[in-house]
Chains A and B, each alone.
Chain A
Amino acid sequence: MTELKHYFAPTSLDQAVECLKDGDVTILAGGTDLTPQSQAGRIKIKHTLMNIRHIPQLTGITLEGREIRIGALATITEIMEHPLVREHLPVLVEACDHFASDQIRNAGTIGGNICNASPAGDTLIPLLVLDASVELASMPEAKLYRHSMPLSTFFVGPGKTRKSLCELVTGVRIPLPAPGHVARFFKLGTRPALDISTISIGVAGTLKDGVLSNARVAFGAVAPTPTRAAQTEQALEGQRLDAATIERVAAVARDEVKPIDDVRATAWYRKEMIHNITKRILSHVAQA
């Protein structure tokens, strides 16, 4: 890796992916992760610092067919105030509302939250239970190439994703929830503001006559990546949400997660909280 030699602020997607071709580029969006990480020396800025703020294709929140597309540069504030998101994706609004502080919500972007790939990233849990996919752009040959990937397969470790060094995240796509869709998010921290999640939980599915189908469960801050919980989902699928089922599913959730001890909490505490809060969320869902 070479020293920082070049600053570039492309005004089109083509220019940006062309610049990314050699892979020796650090991408700058809102800067709320990159500024402290680079100033503290936790990451080293590569040959080129590329500021993506002036690329129009990365902005906006729109309805495209049966999907809501959120541009990578949409800030947490823009997302939580947008009428489309408020109407169709209240669970995402909920997560944005518990994100950092007003100043950080005004600067931080969803693309940055996804690419920073923190196990505690707050938008990631609702995005996972909403079946979101990540849009990627690159220029393998002389032409712009775009594809997308389910968010559930995107994360590989803390700060690590399946995005190659030559790829840019251009946005996320979320299928419009069907009628009867319910979704809930809960973030547990030690104080309401400016707190990294100790654990977070997202639950979603379609509720019909008390029975939950297409069950989705995701946990934050209990594994190296934000993850879907396959066993818990399986235990929930097609079940009537009565007290016995809820207790059983919460126990499966506690056994499924493999958290670590760290400064924010012990593994034991996280497992207990996964159990208790899964139970609480499912009781709320049952009443929806």
Chain B
Amino acid sequence: MSLKHDIEFTLNGVKRHVSVDVTMNALAMLRDVIGLTGTKYGCGEGECGACTIQVDGVSLNSCLMFAVDCDGRNVTTIEGLANDSKADALRESFVEHGAVQCGFCTPGMIMQADHLLHKHPHADEACVKRGIEGNLCRCTGYKKIVDAIVAVDGA
């Protein structure tokens, strides 16, 4: 039998108590244990960024994080940005610029772009391109995504 461990953390502003397999990654916990499927499983090995979440204010790949390591931390997923005015502006800009096609990369892109704009509120094209190096998109060719992020005033 696999070893379980009880953890407590803040998820999208709400305290959560869950029992997880010690070897499970945070992505599997979010999707399969908690049922928040906005965070996507693309590659499972850190290459695609579809699983990007924010932990204690920084973006990271949830597929590269042990679920038990969420214990005591502050975790935000795409669902947690639903009522966030900065993220609203990003979402609207993605729609306006046609930066969403199949949408599979979008939650990860928005989580990473949101983190980027917190750090660099006036990120230019070069800064945005570097910031989303860890996010793959198979549809848009990136131009519209980059334009959408650059157009947002993150201040």
* Interface residues of A, Cβ cutoff 8 Å to B: 4-7, 9, 28, 30-32, 34-36, 38-40, 45, 49, 51, 53-54, 77, 100-104, 106-107, 192-194
Within the complex, the shortest CB–CB distance from A236 to chain B, in Å, comes to: 33
User: Can you list 18 contacts pairing A with B, beta carbon distance less than 8 Å?
Assistant: A4-B2, A7-B22, A7-B68, A31-B69, A32-B46, A34-B66, A39-B44, A45-B22, A49-B68, A51-B68, A102-B59, A102-B112, A102-B116, A102-B131, A102-B133, A103-B49, A103-B52, A194-B47
Closest to A81 in B: B119
CB of B37 within 8 Å of the partner chain: no
- A35 in contact with B63 (CB, 8 Å): yes
Residues of B within 8 A of A5 (CB): 3
Q: Which of A34, A77, A194 has the most CB of B within 10 A?
A: A194
Within the complex, the shortest CB–CB distance from A132 to chain B, in Å, comes to: 25
- B61 in contact with A103 (CB, 8 Å): yes
Within the complex, the shortest CB–CB distance from A101 to chain B, in Å, comes to: 3
- B64 in contact with A194 (CB, 8 Å): no
- A103 in contact with B63 (CB, 8 Å): no
The answer for the CA separation of A104 and B49 in the assembled complex, in Å, is: 10
Residues of B within 8 A of A28 (CB): 66, 69
A-B residue pairs, 8 tightest by C-beta: A101-B134, A193-B133, A107-B60, A106-B58, A32-B64, A103-B134, A36-B45, A7-B5
Within the complex, the shortest CB–CB distance from B106 to chain A, in Å, comes to: 16
- A35 in contact with B68 (CB, 8 Å): no
Residues of A within 8 A of B45 (CB): 36, 40
- A49 in contact with B22 (CB, 8 Å): yes
Within the complex, the shortest CB–CB distance from A9 to chain B, in Å, comes to: 7
The answer for the CA separation of A49 and B132 in the assembled complex, in Å, is: 32
Residues of B within 8 A of A9 (CB): 68, 71
Closest to A37 in B: B45
- B134 in contact with A100 (CB, 8 Å): yes
The answer for the CA separation of A30 and B46 in the assembled complex, in Å, is: 13
In this complex, how many residues of chain B approach chain A with their Cβ under 8 Å: the count is 33
List 15 extra interface pairs beyond A7-B3, A9-B68, A194-B133, CB under 8 A: A7-B22, A28-B66, A35-B25, A35-B63, A36-B64, A39-B23, A39-B25, A102-B131, A102-B134, A104-B134, A107-B58, A107-B60, A107-B61, A192-B133, A193-B134
Known: A31-B65, A36-B46, A49-B22. A106 touches B3 (CB 8 A): no
Residues of B within 8 A of A51 (CB): 66, 68-69
Within the complex, the shortest CB–CB distance from B7 to chain A, in Å, comes to: 10
Within the complex, the shortest CB–CB distance from B76 to chain A, in Å, comes to: 13
Point out the residue from B66, B71, B132 that lies within 8 Å of A31, measured CB to CB: B66
The answer for the CA separation of A35 and B58 in the assembled complex, in Å, is: 19
Residues of B within 8 A of A193 (CB): 130, 133-134
Residues of A within 8 A of B112 (CB): 102-103
- B64 in contact with A31 (CB, 8 Å): yes
- B65 in contact with A100 (CB, 8 Å): no
Residues of A within 8 A of B47 (CB): 194
The answer for the CA separation of A149 and B52 in the assembled complex, in Å, is: 37
Residues of A within 8 A of B66 (CB): 28, 31, 34-35, 49, 51
Within the complex, the shortest CB–CB distance from B149 to chain A, in Å, comes to: 13
- B60 in contact with A106 (CB, 8 Å): yes
- B64 in contact with A6 (CB, 8 Å): no
Residues of A within 8 A of B116 (CB): 102
Residues of B within 8 A of A35 (CB): 25, 63-66
Within the complex, the shortest CB–CB distance from B50 to chain A, in Å, comes to: 11
Within the complex, the shortest CB–CB distance from B36 to chain A, in Å, comes to: 18
Known: A51-B66, A101-B133, A194-B47. A4 touches B22 (CB 8 A): yes
Within the complex, the shortest CB–CB distance from B63 to chain A, in Å, comes to: 7
The answer for the CA separation of A49 and B47 in the assembled complex, in Å, is: 25
> Which residues B115-130 have CB closer than 8 A to chain A?
115-116, 130
Point out the residue from B58, B69, B134 that lies within 8 Å of A77, measured CB to CB: B58
Closest to A78 in B: B58
Residues of A within 8 A of B131 (CB): 102
